[in-house]
Structure 1
Amino acid sequence: MENVMGYYLMPHPPIIIPDVGKGEEKKIEKTSLACNSIGKEIGDIKPETIILITPHATMFSDAIAISDEERISGDLSQFRCSNIKMDIQIDKEFNIKLGTACHLEGIQSVLVDSKLLKKYNCTYGLDHGAIVPLYFVNKYYKDYKLVHITYSAIGDINLYKFGMEIKKVAESLNRKTVVIASGDLSHKLKEEGPYSYSPYGEKFDNELLESLQKGDILKAFSMDKVMIEEAGQCGLSSIYILLGAMEGKQIKGELLSYEGPFGVGYGVMKLRREENNVSNLDLLIKNKEEKFKDKLNNNNPYVKLARENLDHYFTYGRSINDISSLSSELLNQKHGVFVSLKKFGHLRGCIGTIMPTTNFVGEEIIRNSIEAAMHDPRFPSVKKEELDDIDISVDVLMDSVPCEKDELDPKKYGVIVSCGMRRGLLLPDLEGVDTIEDQLRIACDKADIDFDEEYKIEKFEVIRYKEE
């Protein structure tokens, strides 16, 4: 008999709770009915432990957080609703075994309590990502202990492996368990939503829900990275952990409801393990290896050079010396170059030059790729074992020209601001930089220029080369 007896995807809009929505919850009635059906089903299962993965408690960049005091409590007072309160016992035995298992498997996780979180000026407690799903569970059943987990940007396969450890611990403790992945889908479905509209929003929601319904794990893990970033979602990492807990079998998903009237996608789904054995982990690892081979064989000379130079540096302790085989376009041009490194979608290093400092673009890439990896003061130096998970982009800067504020376009042009000896640069088409004001403020901050000071503005175009 399976110890994990239920797998669920649930959204967490506070507005779905009548005390918060005050009538607006009727616009997502299907979502409410679907969440109630899951709550009733969990009530029928009567689990000893509920595992809940949330995006909205304190999140660490390098470790999954597992709440670890005797109890955990919270309310919805931040949503002007103080009468919805919860105080739940934590399954500390499960926590200890899970933390130990993660340590043995090399999965970054940490047990967190009030004392630890205080060091980061954070508080210990239930967040709305946990309270909203549990609101529907508590209607029907309260006799459970909780394992409260906040995911981290440690990589999709590591999240999947963490889910596998959840299942192993439930089995080793012979604990009747259910797993809830709390997460909303795209926040960019409408102009009047919480974020600006993106056509990627609906596409992301459709692709993800379809892959879960079909049990196509590989597709769920291989969605376009640009689409994922542009969708503005918070549920995918919770889902990766949920799917890891289902490892070893084919899976199917039953979509109970999907709505998005407020500009945010709310998906409610039950998932189940089928009879057929399959190692989705093996498929994911093989797919990752193939993608890395594609990076090494990238036929774009700019990112290929940056990749080969980093590999050479970590192998021999020095940059590439023999440049005789470089393409003519790398040897015949002189431009400023920025090299950016991203790991799991998050910046890991970025160093560049506004004007050329070497004899040609190829040398500029060789120099700045190592600088980005080893000497970006915002990050610790990159380690060799990280290279597989890093995506590289190379921005070649065209000559800048003086301009007025209204001639800028943050998607098309980069900007340079200067006041005396102070100078700040911002590349174009950066996530979260949507307006000219945003662009200028950030550039001024980088240059230590007061936004209200008089300063000169230059714009420039960039040719961006990315690993695909």
Structure 2
Amino acid sequence: MNNIQGYYLMPHPPIIIPDIGKGEEKKIELTSKSCDEIGKDISNLKPETIVIITPHSTMFSDAIAISNEHRIKGDLSKFRCSNIKMDIKIDTEFNNELIKLCTEFEVPVAPINSEFLVRFNRKYELDHGTIVPLYFINKYYNDYNLVHVTYSMIGDLNLYKFGMNLKKAAEALNRKVVIIASGDLSHKLKNHGPYIYSPFGEKFDNELLNNLKNGDFLDVFNMNKDLIEEAGECGFNSTIILLGSMDGKEVKGDLLSYEGTFGVGYGVMKFNINNDKESIFNFIIKSKEEKLKRKLNSSNSYVKLARESLIYYFKNNRKMTDLSNVPQELLNEKHGVFVSLKKFGNLRGCIGTILPTTDNVAQEIIRNSIEAAINDPRFMSVVEDELKDLDISVDVLMEATLCSKEELDPKKYGVIVTSGYKRGLLLPDLEGVDTIESQLSIACNKAGINEGEKYEIEKFEVIRYKEGE
């Protein structure tokens, strides 16, 4: 018998609640009806425990947060709606079993309570990523305890393992459970949405939903990371955990509705479980290993040297000096170079030089790759075990030229702002930096240039190299 009786993907737009939408909710009526359908479905199942995975409660970069007091409450007063309130009992027995399993299988988790969150100046409370889906469930059924989980940026493999542990905990306790992945899809579907429009938004939504409908878990894992990042979504990691809880099952997704009226993708889906099948966990590991090999083998000489520099440094505790195998093009030119490290789609380190400080681009890459890994003051130093999870890019800076504000283009040009001894640089084509104003504001902030202070503007182009390209 499968103790997990229902699996669902639900969005969480506060505007869908009439007291908040004040008529605007009628523009996403299909989403509302589909969420009602899920509420009725769960009412028929009568679960003892509902597990909900949210992106909008207190999130940690290095561990999945599990709310672990006896009760948790919250409201939607942040959205000028204080009459929608919830106070729900937490299934602490399930939490304890889940935490034990995660410790055993090396999935980083953090049980949280009010006292713990005081250290981070955060409140122990329900978030709208939880309240909105439960609003539709509570219409029809409220005889349940809650497991309240906030995902973390610890990588899709760890998230999937966490989902597998949800299943094991339900089985160990013989608990009747349903699991809800709370998450909106792309926020970039329209220019009047919360983010500036991107053609990647619709592509991401279609690809993810089609993979889920077909039950193609491996295809979800192999989705292009740049596509996911460019989509501006908050539901992918919730979905990965949900898929982990369905591991070993033949699955098909039933898409109840999809709407993008407000520039955000709202997908509502229930999953139909059919026959047992072989776990795909080992296939996921193998797929990731093969992907890393392909990335290393196909990388251009710039990022290949950056990775080789890091591998050599962690193995020998010193900078590599043998350049005999480095292509001549990296030895013949001198440029400023920025090396950026990302882990699971999030920045892990970035250090660079505006002007060359060494004899050639090769030495610049070697120097700055190590600096990005161990001396970026925003992050803890990278450790050797992280190298396999890093994606590396190298930006080679072309000569900067003086310009006016009107000549800037944040997608094409980087910017350097200078006021006396204060100087700040921002690379081009960064996510979330879509206007000249935001580009200049960030660059001035980095330089310590105050608002209203006069400064000189330079623009420059970069040649950007990424792994696998």
Residue of structure 2 equivalent to 1:2: 2
Q: What is the 5 A alignment of 1:132-281?
A: 132-281=132-281
| One-letter code aligned to 2:241 | I
2:351 is aligned to 351
Shift of 1:299: 3.9
TM-score normalized by the length of structure 2: 0.98
Within 1, Cα distance between the matches of 2:27 and 2:353?
A: 52
1:32 equivalent in structure 2: 32
Note if contact 1:204-1:228 (Cα within 8 Å) is conserved in structure 2: yes
| In the alignment, structure 1 residue 335 sits paired with structure 2 residue 330 | no
Aligned residues: 468
| 2:286 maps to amino acid | K
**Which amino acid in the other structure matches residue 66 of structure 2?**
I
1:72 equivalent to 2:90? Answer no
Structure-2 separation of matches of 1:40 and 1:166: 23
Of the structure 1 ranges 333-342 and 259-268, higher mean CA displacement relative to structure 2 is found in 259-268
Residue type at the aligned position of 1:195: Y
The Cα shift of 1:434 comes to 1.0
Could you tell me which runs of 5 or more consecutive residues in structure 2 were left unpaired when the two chains were aligned: none
Q: Is the 8 A contact 1:211 1:219 kept in 2?
A: yes
Tell me the secondary structure at the aligned position of residue 277 of structure 2.
Answer: strand
Aligned-pair CA distance for 1:274: 2.4
Please tell me the residue identity of whatever aligns with 1:141: Y
Q: Which residue of the partner structure matches residue 45 of structure 2?
A: 45
1:297 alignment partner, SS class: helix
1:454 aligns with 2:454: yes
- Residue 123 of structure 1 pairs with residue 118 of structure 2: no
Q: Secondary structure at the match of 1:188?
A: coil
8 Å CA contact 1:296–1:308 kept in 2: the answer is no
Q: 1:312 is paired with a residue of what secondary structure?
A: helix
Unaligned runs of 5+ in 1: none
Q: Please provide the CA RMSD for this pair.
A: 1.1
Which string of whole-angstrom CA distances, capped at 9 and with x for unpartnered residues, describes residues 379-420 of structure 1?
111011101110000000111111111111111111111111
TM-superposed deviation, 1:187: 1.1
SS at match of 1:278: coil
Please say if 1:418 is aligned against 2:418.
yes
Shift of 1:332: 0.3
Measured after TM superposition, the shift of residue 186 of structure 1 is 0.9
Following the alignment from structure 2 to structure 1, what is the Cα–Cα distance between the partners of residues 228 and 341?
A: 18
Q: CA deviation at 1:278?
A: 2.3
Listed one character per residue, the Cα deviations across residues 158-217 of structure 1 (whole Å, up to 9, x for unaligned) are 100000011101110111100000111111111111211111111111100000000011
- Identity percentage of aligned residues: 67
SS at match of 1:234: coil
Matched with 2:325 is: 325
1:365 maps to 365
Q: In 1, distance between residues paired with 2:361 and 2:260?
A: 47
State the distance in 1 between where 2:267 and 2:321 align: 53
Cα drift, residue 325 of structure 1? 1.4
Alpha-carbon separation, structure 1, partners of 2:426 and 2:82? 43
> Letter of the aligned partner of 1:452 in structure 2?
G
Give 3-state SS (helix, strand or coil) of 1:286's partner: helix
3-state DSSP class of the match of 2:461? strand
Q: Distance in 2 between matches of 1:193 and 1:305?
A: 40
| 1:23 corresponding residue in structure 2 | 23
Deviates more, 1:135-144 or 1:235-244: 135-144
Distance 1:451 1:287 in 2: 50
Query: Deviation at 1:276?
Result: 4.1
Secondary structure of the residue aligned to 2:285 is: helix
1:92 maps to what in 2? 92
Letter in 1 for 2:382: V
SS of 2:298's equivalent?
A: coil
Alpha-carbon contact 2:52-2:179 (below 8 Å) kept: yes
Alpha-carbon distance between aligned partners in 2 of 1:418 and 1:263, rounded to the nearest angstrom: 37
Q: Distance in 2 between matches of 1:172 and 1:208?
A: 31
Q: Deviations over 1:326-348 (max 9, x none)?
A: 11111100001110000011110
Deviations 1:35-84 (A, max 9, x none): 11111111111111000001111111111111111111111112121111
The residue identity in structure 1 corresponding to 2:17 is: I
In the aligned structure 1, how far is the partner of 2:290 from the partner of 2:98? 31
Match of 1:402 in 2: 402
Q: Which moved more, 1:313-322 or 1:191-200?
A: 313-322
